[in-house]
Amino acid sequence: MSSGVAVNLEDIWIRFGDFVAVRDANVNINGGDFFSFLGPSGCGKTTILRAVSGFLDPSEGRVLIGGKDMAGIGPNKRPTALIFQNLALFPLMKVWENISFSMEVAGIGAKERRKRADELLDMIALEGQGDKLPSELSGGQKQRVAIARALCANPDVLLLDEPLSALDLKLRQHMRTELREIQKRVGITFIYITHDQGEALTMSDNVAVMKAGVIDQIDSGHNIYDHPATPFVASFVGENNVFRGKIKSINGNEAIVSTNRSGDLLSRIAPAQLGNLNVGDDAMMFIRPEVLKLGPAEESSKSTISADVMNEEFEGNTFSVFLEGDGGKSIKMSVPNAGQDHISSRGENLSLHYDPSNAVVMPAGELASE
């Protein structure tokens, strides 16, 4: 099988009439990478994928696959294979015919097609099921057939449009690992679309986070989670407590934020926003629930928050504690389950502290809507 081929999007704009679906997207995807586009519904993910696969031409900008400009090259001529959001298996063809359809198109004889289809069926752990119809398979099996069908064409780039969204949670988690393994085995570039951050973070080498046609951040899943570049990314990926306020002072890569309701708090400045923050600016500071710890800070009161316990939920591996700070500010804290009966009792006043290097502050902006 071919090793990975790079995909580059250069200054891509995609418009439908007056509506801008994708705004100035620049993305460089390394060959052999598992790359994800993550964003809420309707943000333009499918649209970008259709531009890569050739079903629509960008209004502006270039799509390069393996360094070659794809302008004017139709979907049937591109080295890409697309797995559709609804899979789009051919219901009237048997499973093996589905898988080997690209070979049928190429005029390859039935015997050879069947052989290749059986090999792929082995790979997706569906040996002996080639003579079934797609309707006789379970959701996860259909899923795997769609992957085999796309891989049968020996594409350089596999494009996957939320292929797991129709599956139940258990199967989805199982398919994540499976997809990642298939990708490692075939070694080709995967471009994966999802609105599920868990999927994006677990599977991808790199993730692009999108909001309403704009790519906010491209980075490894780890960096996206730990070093979000914008308020949208910070609030869309994972859970976060948001503290609004103004910058009081800046010292290197740290700033003191005078928050609206929780006093002055110390935080690291988002690396991507270093230099973009000035004293007096409207800012948003983010502290993840698992970063908050019980008890007041020892060194500085600028990383201590006091709040009243409203409610506590047991979630198995963690306890989620919901608190209300001064002025009704709601705060969530996660505490690992180490065998305690409970963490707090309702109405109790708690002091919480955090490590300022685990908090992040950036210029105020749009949050992901819940």
Partner 1 sequence: MKKKMIFSNFFKTNGVIMGSILMGLVGFWLIFLIVLPQLSMLDYSFRFNLPPADVGGPKDVYTLSNYQFLIYGSDDTHQTYNSVDLKVFVRTIIAAMMVTIFNILLCYPLAYFLGQSKGSAFVRLLVVLLIIPYWINEILRAFALRIIFGDSGLLNETLMFLHLTSEPIDFIRHDVALYAGLGYAYILLMLFPMYNVIESLDRNQIEAARDMGASWVKIHRRIVIPHAKPGIASGATMVFMLSAGALAAPQILGGPSSLWFTQLVYQWFNDSLNWQQGAAYAIVLLVSTITIVLTVMRIFKVNMGDIGK
Ligand X SMILES: Nc1ncnc2c1ncn2[C@@H]1O[C@H](COP(=O)(O)OP(=O)(O)OP(=O)(O)O)[C@@H](O)[C@H]1O
Site residues for partner 1 per CB under 8 A: 53, 55, 74-77, 80-82, 84-86, 88, 90, 92-93, 101-102, 104-106, 149, 153
Span near ligand X by CB under 6 A; candidates 45-53, 214-222, 228-236, 343-351: 45-53
Min CB(292)–partner 1 separation in Å: 45
Tell me the CA end-to-end span of the chain in Å, nearest whole number: 43
Asked if residue 99 binds ligand X (CB under 6 A), the reply is no
The conformation of residue 328, written as its DSSP 8-state character, comes to G
Asked if residue 86 binds ligand X (CB under 6 A), the reply is no
Min CB(161)–Mg ion separation in Å: 6
Interacting residues with ligand X between 186 and 215 (CB under 6 A): 195
Residue 181 to residue 37: CA distance in whole angstroms: 19
Interacting residues with ligand X between 312 and 331 (CB under 6 A): none
- CB nearer to ligand X: pick between 47 and 98: 47
Interacting residues with Mg ion between 8 and 47 (CB under 5 A): 46
HSE-up of 181 (CA within 13 Å, CB side)? Answer: 10
Residues, the chain: 370
The entry of partner 1, ligand X, Mg ion, none that residue 86 binds, CB within 5 to 8 Å by partner kind: partner 1
Asked if residue 41 binds ligand X (CB under 6 A), the reply is yes
The entry of partner 1, ligand X, Mg ion, none that residue 44 binds, CB within 5 to 8 Å by partner kind: ligand X
Asked if residue 42 binds ligand X (CB under 6 A), the reply is yes
- CB nearer to ligand X: pick between 116 and 195: 195
CB 322 within 8 A of CB 313: yes
Asked if residue 45 binds ligand X (CB under 6 A), the reply is yes
CA dihedral angle for residue 91, residue 46, residue 36, residue 360, rounded to 10 degrees: -140
Size of the site for Mg ion (CB under 5 A): 1
Min CB(162)–ligand X separation in Å: 6
CB 159 within 8 A of CB 134: no
The entry of Mg ion, partner 1, ligand X, none that residue 43 binds, CB within 5 to 8 Å by partner kind: ligand X
Residue with tokens 């990708």: 183
Residue with tokens 């290097």: 357
The conformation of residue 291, written as its DSSP 8-state character, comes to T
Interacting residues with Mg ion between 41 and 70 (CB under 5 A): 46
Give the tokens for residue 130: 């080639």
In terms of Cβ atoms closer than 10 Å to its own Cβ (0-12, 13-18, 19+), residue 347 is exposed
Q: CA dist 118 to 101, 123, 152, Å?
A: 13, 9, 11
Give the tokens for residue 137: 């398979």
CA 260 to chain centre: 31
Lay out the site mask for ligand X across 8-27 (x = CB under 6 A, - = otherwise).
--------x--x-x------
Min CB(39)–ligand X separation in Å: 6
CA 226 to chain centre: 14
Asked if residue 88 binds ligand X (CB under 6 A), the reply is no
Residue 245 to residue 358: CA distance in whole angstroms: 18
- CB nearer to partner 1: pick between 93 and 166: 93
HSE-up of 123 (CA within 13 Å, CB side)? Answer: 21
Interacting residues with ligand X between 109 and 168 (CB under 6 A): none
Task: Enumerate binding residues for Mg ion (CB under 5 A).
Answer: 46
Task: Enumerate binding residues for ligand X (CB under 6 A).
Answer: 16, 19, 21, 39, 41-47, 195
